[in-house]
Each structure stands twice: as C-alpha cells, then as structure tokens.
Amino acid sequence: MTSVRRRDRWRRGWDRSAGGYDAQMARFDRWLFRDTRTWICSRARGEVLEIAVGTGLNLPLYPPSCRVTGIDISAEMIEHARRRRDGLGRGDELRLGDAESIDLPDHSVDTVVCTFSCCAIPDHLQALREMLRVLRPGGRLLLADHIASDWASVRVGQRLIEAVTIPIAGEHFTRRPAADLAELAGLADHPIVVQERERFTFGIVERLAAERVSP
C-alpha cells in the first residue's frame, strides 16, 4: 500500500515536470516509442476516456469523431493539456481525476486509452479494473507502456533503475500490464479479448488493442 504522503510527493513531482514534459517525451517517442501514439489513437472511437492525459500529447492524433475526456492527478499537466486543446479548437473535457477511482458510471465509454502511464500509477491493477469497469461491451482498451524487457541483461538494468525511480517518482520499468490484463480477463465481470499486441525496442515497449466482450 502506497502512503498518502508518498502519493502526494509524486503528484507534486508531476506538477513540477509539466513544463518540460513535452520535450522529454519527444525524445522518448523518437528513439523508443516510435509511432505508438498514432497507433493507439487511430484505433480510438466514440466516447474516449484517456487516463493520465498529461499535457495532452495525444489530443492532435485522435480521429475528429472522437469525444475525449482526459483525467490526470496533476493540475499543472491538466493546464498544459487545456492550452493544447484550445489551440487545436477541440471540445475535449480535461479534468483532475484518479485512475484508481474513475468518476464515471459503469459501461459509460467506448474507448479507454492509457499511454506510458501504467508504469507510474501506484496501484496499476486497480486502475486496470477501473478501465474495464467504465468500458462498454464491445468497447476498446488501448494501452502502451515501457515494460520488463525480453532480454535478461536489459531487465537487470531496469531493476537497478527502479531502485531509484520508484522511491523518488513511483516510476516502474518491470511491470507488464498486458500480462496483468490477461489475468483480469479471467474474471467473470472483466471479459476482454486482446486483438492486437506488439513489442519492440529490445522488448521494452508494448502496445495493445483489446475489446471488452459480454460476459
């Protein structure tokens, strides 16, 4: 269980990093994540919930027909996202929100998106449960993240990095959301089928598209 004090410290860290976030992520997108944001957003449809929307880097990439609600724990991130939204002329709703307790009814959205954020959600399993809860039958779950590598030597390095990043910022490098999702899919109230799944960059980047089916 992550303490309230530690969660609050991590949230303040995201607030402080909001101004330089776009430049940092541009480097990661170029060298590690490649076209993943486009890959994810092109598969979105209808009413979209984006978890940990950050500064709104995905907003320009959604199809015009999508209506996006974006939540984030960082007020500074949300302010940057709103400025991006306004510059794009979009009508998306961007607000403070907790991925572990999403303030939406059951089965209320057509698509849930979470890019490079399960790694930093304190209880990412609870967040995945919440994503499935709000997703309609037939809806799409679109995830992308950096995960534990296929290469043992790379995993050693990832664990060493985590020894610093988890206490300081809550950032994990060896989580595997797709594997966790498969376990949750075995539950009667969370039926999900993975339709597309790709890994690359030494196996440390994974993206997937899944569909919620009727139980």
Name the pTM for this structure. Answer: 0.93
CA 125 vs CA 36, 44, 78: distances in Å: 22, 22, 24
Residue range 79-86: mean pLDDT, rounded: 98
Instruction: Show contacts of 8-13: CB within 8 Å, 24+ apart.
Output: 10/120, 10/122, 10/169, 10/170, 11/73, 11/74, 13/168, 13/169
Give residue-wise pLDDT tens across range 39-82. Answer: 999 999 999 999 999 999 999 999 999 999 999 999 999 999 99
* β-pair type (205-212, 135-146): antiparallel
- Tell me the pLDDT band of 184, cut-offs 50, 70 and 90: confident
Which stretch of 87-96, 118-127, 173-182, 193-202 has the lowest confidence by average pLDDT? 173-182
- The pLDDT value recorded for residue 5 is 84
- Report the percentage of the chain scoring pLDDT > 70: 96
N-term to C-term CA, the chain = 31
- Tell me the pLDDT band of 4, cut-offs 50, 70 and 90: confident
- 76: nearest Cα among 137, 129, 134, 13: 13
Residue 125 tokens read as 């399993």
pLDDT of 2 > 80? The answer is no
CA–CA gap between residue 185 and residue 104 (Å, rounded): 21
Residue 79 tokens read as 């302010």
- The pLDDT value recorded for residue 189 is 64
Which stretch of 88-102, 145-159, 174-188, 200-214 has the lowest confidence by average pLDDT? 174-188
- 206: nearest Cα among 197, 215, 193: 197
Residue range 93-102: mean pLDDT, rounded: 97
pLDDT of 144 > 80? The answer is yes
Q: Identify the helix (H) or strand (E) that includes residue 70.
A: strand 67-72
- Report the percentage of the chain scoring pLDDT > 90: 78
- The pLDDT value recorded for residue 187 is 56
Provide the angle, in degrees to the nearest 10, between the axes of the packed helices 21-28 and 75-88.
Answer: 80
Write down the CATH superfamily of domain 4-212: Vaccinia Virus protein VP39 (3.40.50.150)
Which residues does residue 205 pair with via DSSP β-bridges, in sequence order? 146, 200
